């Protein structure tokens, strides 16, 4: 995406928790929605499910006025749809092919509410090209959640997720939330099966989800 059009944008939306979800989680627990991006610095370490229960159930004035901040990073090869997913989530629109690939790191802010709590999502869209890979790990350290994206019509982008995951494991803390996302499920030229994605997620004990930036399928779920 062109740097001239990547100024920080702040929008607001209201998220209503659902009881059902197509999210698969292969880790230490299970939640019914996508991974609400980890814990705020004021919240003691706990499961995401516990955090979501706290955010949605507490009505004390001291917690109602807090703004929780979460840092999310989008990772994956160039062309898998990272920027398109972010724009779909942020603006509820789909980008056409008339845009430039992200250069370096792009950052956007989105204010959401969960229950009666305000949450500031700080979302970093990273470049997938090899020449920018060296700068990305520096942003891992204080991130709460990483969304690793591949294109279901590109087997090479799926194969490269193992390289990304090994790098992530090397540079991140144990409490970070990681979700593997197979994007572009609206396309008929699938070469990576859902089962293959689930199997890889199971091997690494992480979340798994399939999305479509074009139709909006599961996009909100991926970020929330």
pLDDT digits (tens, 9 = 90+) for 205-223: 999 999 998 998 999 888 8
Going by C-alpha positions, the residue among 199, 224, 190, 218 that lies closest to residue 22 is: 218
Number of structural domains in the chain? 1
**Angle at Cα 217 formed by Cα 216 and Cα 220, nearest 5°?**
70
pLDDT tops 90 at residue 170: no
Is position 223 within any domain? no
Sheet holding 67-75, edge to edge: 10-15, 105-114, 117-126, 67-75, 145-151, 177-183, 207-210, 24-25
**pLDDT band at residue 55 using 50, 70 and 90 as cut-offs:** low
Structure tokens at 23: 């999210």
Q: Is position 57 within any domain?
A: yes
pLDDT of residue 117: 79
pTM for the whole thing? 0.71
Cα–Cα dist 20/17, whole Å:
9
d(CA 53, CA 39): 12
**Domain-located, residue 224:** no
Alpha carbons within 13 A on the beta-carbon side of 89: 29
In a domain, 101, yes or no: yes
Residue 46 has pLDDT above 60, yes or no: no
Nearest residue to 70 via CA among 110, 38, 92, 115: 38
Averaged pLDDT of the chain:
71
Q: Residue 88 domain-assigned?
A: yes
Range of the domain at 132: 3-218
Q: Phi and psi for 196 in degrees, rounded to 5?
A: -65, -40
Residues facing residue 114 across a β-bridge: 15, 117
Report the pLDDT value the prediction gives residue 202, as an integer from 0 to 100: 92
Residue 124 within a domain: yes
Residue 12: give its domain's CATH number. 3.40.50.300
């Amino acid at each position: 995406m062109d740097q001239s059009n990547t100024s920080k944008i702040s929008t607001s939306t209201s998220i209503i928790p659902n009881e059902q979800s197509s999210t698969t989680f292969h880790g230490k627990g299970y939640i019914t929605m996508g991974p609400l991006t980890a814990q705020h610095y004021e919240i003691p370490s706990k499961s995401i499910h516990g955090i979501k229960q706290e955010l949605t159930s507490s009505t004390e004035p001291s917690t109602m006025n807090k703004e929780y901040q979460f840092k999310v990073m989008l990772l994956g090869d160039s062309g898998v749809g990272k920027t398109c997913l972010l724009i779909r989530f942020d603006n509820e629109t789909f980008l056409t092919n008339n845009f430039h690939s992200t250069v370096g790191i792009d950052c956007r802010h989105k204010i959401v509410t969960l229950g009666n709590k305000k949450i500031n999502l700080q979302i970093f869209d990273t470049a997938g090209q090899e020449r920018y890979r060296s700068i990305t790990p520096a942003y891992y350290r204080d991130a709460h959640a990483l969304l690793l994206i591949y294109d279901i019509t590109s087997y090479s982008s799926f194969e490269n997720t193992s390289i990304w995951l090994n790098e992530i494991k090397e540079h991140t803390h144990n409490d970070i939330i990681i979700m593997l996302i197979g994007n572009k499920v609206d396309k008929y030229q699938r070469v990576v099966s859902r089962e293959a994605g689930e199997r890889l997620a199971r091997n690494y004990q992480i979340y798994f989800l399939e999305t479509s930036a074009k139709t909006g399928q599961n996009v909100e779920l991926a970020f929330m």
